[in-house]
């Protein structure tokens, strides 16, 4: 069976789902203010819901979108971050918050430029968008309600983590022919002018590290954290 839907940036479905994610974020982030609920307990519930959503989305893509199991492991940047942000909200670990914060740019980029070409069911794209939105929501929830802050040590751990993720994905891709961390196919089509492909990989890894460092700069006074 051929995919029933093809995606193009900022088509009707993309705009509607962006609005959906924005409304969802405003509801979740505003809920503690207007209900006076315990922010720690609500964060824990939110964390479990995010992990459940990740499990459901993975099962859905295998069953209905014809992904293979090797393609569905959480080695992609945002899938990995989604698990981390769920665990952060459950444990309130500042290191996990830092990874969530420094990796959240990937989710923002995925919302703006979704890495989706074709799909079989409309629900898949909704799940894709909402899943990425949860990373941003979790990060903002940590800032606003749990008072978590980025630190120098958190930045360092995040850089080490992303390098490990790149290395693991490179080895895994070579074994299974997948494209985790965009090491086999260009992250967006308009970058395919970068040749040879090894140069693209070097630029990609460098860009990830530089973005993490740039995200730390507004909080550099917390260096001893």
Distance of CA 54 to the CA centre of its chain: 11
Instruction: Encode pLDDT of 65-91 as tens digits.
Output: 999 999 999 999 999 999 999 999 999
214 has pLDDT over 80: yes
**End-to-end distance of the chain based on CA atoms, in angstroms?**
53
Q: How confident is the model at residue 7 (pLDDT cuts 50, 70, 90)?
A: confident
pLDDT surpassing 70 at residue 113: yes
225 confidence band (pLDDT: 50, 70, 90): very low
Q: Is the pLDDT of residue 92 over 90?
A: yes
Q: How far apart are CA 120 and CA 64, in angstroms?
A: 7
Mean pLDDT on 31-58: 97
Would you state the structure tokens that stand for residue 43, as one six-digit string? 């964060």
DSSP lists the bridge partners of residue 5 as 119
Residue range 180-201, pLDDT digits in tens: 999 999 988 888 999 999 999 9
Q: How large is the average pLDDT for residues 92-112?
A: 97
Beta bridge partners of 6: 118
**Residue 2: count of CB within 10 angstroms of its CB:** 5
By percentage, how much of the chain surpasses pLDDT 70?
Answer: 98
Q: Where are the alpha helices (DSSP H) in the chain?
A: 12-35, 39-64, 77-91, 94-112, 122-144, 152-176, 197-216
Give the per-residue pLDDT at 8: 86
């Amino acid at each position: 069976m051929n995919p029933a839907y093809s995606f193009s940036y900022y088509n009707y479905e993309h705009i509607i789902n962006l609005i959906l994610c924005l409304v969802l974020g405003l509801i979740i982030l505003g809920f503690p203010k207007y209900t006076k609920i315990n922010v720690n307990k609500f964060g824990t519930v939110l964390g479990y819901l995010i992990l459940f959503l990740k499990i459901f989305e993975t099962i859905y893509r295998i069953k209905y979108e014809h992904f293979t199991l090797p393609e569905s492991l959480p080695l992609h940047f945002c899938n990995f971050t989604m698990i981390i942000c769920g665990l952060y909200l459950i444990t309130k670990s500042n290191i996990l918050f830092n990874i969530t914060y420094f990796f959240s740019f990937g989710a923002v980029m995925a919302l703006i430029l979704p890495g989706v070409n074709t799909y079989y069911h409309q629900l898949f794209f909704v799940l894709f968008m909402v899943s990425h939105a949860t990373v941003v929501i979790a990060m903002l929830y940590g800032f606003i309600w749990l008072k978590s802050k980025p630190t120098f040590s958190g930045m360092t751990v995040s850089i080490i983590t992303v390098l490990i993720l790149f290395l693991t994905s490179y080895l895994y891709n070579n074994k299974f022919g997948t494209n985790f961390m965009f090491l086999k196919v260009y992250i967006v089509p308009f970058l395919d002018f970068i040749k040879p492909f090894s140069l693209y990989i070097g630029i990609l890894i460098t860009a990830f590290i530089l973005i993490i460092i740039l995200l730390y700069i507004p909080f550099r006074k917390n260096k001893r954290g």
